[in-house]
Structure 1
Amino acid sequence: MANSADDQKFCLREVLDTFRLCLSEDKEVSMEHYVAGWRGLVKFLNSLGSVFTFISKDAVNKIQILVGFLNGESGPRYVTIQSMVKYELDNGLVDLNKRGSHPESGCRTLLRLHRALKWLEIFLERLRTSSEDSKTSVMCADAYNVSLAQHHPWVIRKAAGVAFCVLPGRPTFMEVMNVGTPAQVVAMLGEALPLISEVYQITEELYAQNNLLDLP
């Protein structure tokens, strides 16, 4: 069956491989692999129970929108994040002022994932460098407060704060990575995070150059 439990299981190696494929030689970011990387990160969020539902549900929704663009008649324009930004800006498709029923642009949709990626990058880096008895709730809340929180309304920030309090301990996080011992997890995070960081940085600079970082 295509939807077996194994398919739904998170594996850090898969995410590492996907983000490695994300960047071309000239540092273009592949939309297909970016979306695939996010599918893996959603599995990670879901493997921790309902704590992260408020982020994973939104991420799934954004992934579906981007896949729709990739599979649509303008699909070739969405092959890389760079080509998407150029195409949407050149054709006035970016919703600079959110208007009622105006369809979501690829630029705005991806920006939501981009912001969440920063939070996960910071959190996983803290997880990587922390000691076994470090509080994951504190690490996660700190990462959230310096990244995603500034883009969320008060009610979501409040819910997030409560959710982080019930996070499992660090050993559980090491287990859900599905790559072996804690030492192996730390080593693989050491490989994966620079790749995720580079994809984030390239996207950040592209959006900054085009004044897209504050899309409503």
Structure 2
Amino acid sequence: MSTTEEKFSLGEVLVSFKSCLVDDDKDVLVEHYLNGWKGLVRFMNGLGTIFSFVSKDAVSKIQIMENYLKGENGERYRTLQSMVEYEVGSSLVDLTKRGNHPESGCRTILRLHRALRWLQLFLEKLRTSTEDSKTSTLCAEAYNDSLANYHPWLIRKTANVAFLALPVRNTFFEVMNVGTTQQVVDMLGEAMPYVSKVYDVTQELYSQHNLLELP
């Protein structure tokens, strides 16, 4: 996907997640959600191969969802609510074991949703950190409080070792292409509530339909 090779822009991610929310912030537009994720992939790729264990998987999940949007039932995938209603109502989701629908929209979004929680926690920690904060510690804490719960031991171990090679806080802020440290902190302060809201709306929707533990 050529989009992942472009420069990361925190501003674009802010706009995408802000544009996600519809119906009085109770539903999420899938196209804007995926655009937000493309930006997050560029962010991870801009830091080298450290996050490749997440970014590569995210790219494949984005592709699956874009194919649904372009497909004959594309309108059913316009929002997360319509996707869930369509797939659950049509028995297109493997609820208890992976079987006929390993790439269902519901399962695919759930994997992105879990990874989004990690990035949400990590970016918020970066925003509130000080110049001498260790990014490896911040990232590991965020990971162990979220995505690690769904990864086997070997991936968890590899990830935590990889985090030790993370650059200093200022390098992260440079990758965001916003400006000064204060400008980055301010934009993160503006962006994170929208990312959090999108996460919360998705979490509530999946919880209502008992979809949070899809195999």
TM-score between both structures, scaled by the size of structure 1: 0.96
Corresponding position of 1:150: 149
> Are the aligned partners of 2:94 and 2:100 in contact in 1 as well (CA < 8 Å)?
no
**1:26 shift after superposition:** 2.7
Instruction: Check if 1:23 corresponds to 2:21.
Output: yes
Instruction: Check if 1:165 corresponds to 2:164.
Output: yes
SS at match of 2:49: helix
> Are the aligned partners of 1:134 and 1:170 in contact in 2 as well (CA < 8 Å)?
yes
SS at match of 1:193: helix
C-alpha separation between the residues in 2 aligned to 1:99 and 1:25? 32
C-alpha separation between the residues in 2 aligned to 1:142 and 1:130? 13
Instruction: Check if 1:72 corresponds to 2:71.
Output: yes
Structure 1 segments of 4 or more deviating over 6 A?
Answer: none
C-alpha separation between the residues in 2 aligned to 1:38 and 1:104? 18
C-alpha separation between the residues in 2 aligned to 1:4 and 1:31? 17
SS at match of 1:56: helix
How many residues end up aligned between the 2 structures? 214
> Are the aligned partners of 1:115 and 1:148 in contact in 2 as well (CA < 8 Å)?
yes
SS at match of 2:126: helix
Corresponding position of 2:80: 81
Supply the AA of the counterpart residue of 1:44: F
Corresponding position of 2:92: 93
Corresponding position of 2:56: 57
Corresponding position of 1:42: 41
SS at match of 1:50: coil
**1:124 shift after superposition:** 0.3
Corresponding position of 1:204: 203
**1:103 shift after superposition:** 4.1
C-alpha separation between the residues in 2 aligned to 1:61 and 1:26? 30
Instruction: Check if 1:189 corresponds to 2:188.
Output: yes
Matches of residues 128-143 of structure 1 in structure 2 within 5 Å? 128-143=127-142
C-alpha separation between the residues in 2 aligned to 1:150 and 1:90? 29
- % same residue: 64
5+ long unaligned stretches in structure 1: none
> Are the aligned partners of 1:42 and 1:56 in contact in 2 as well (CA < 8 Å)?
yes
**1:118 shift after superposition:** 0.5
> Are the aligned partners of 1:123 and 1:143 in contact in 2 as well (CA < 8 Å)?
yes
Moved more, 49-58 or 22-31: 22-31
**1:82 shift after superposition:** 0.5
The one-character-per-residue Cα deviations of 1:42-70 (angstroms, maximum 9, x if unpaired) are: 00000000000000000000000000111
C-alpha separation between the residues in 2 aligned to 1:77 and 1:100? 22
C-alpha separation between the residues in 1 aligned to 2:109 and 2:101? 16
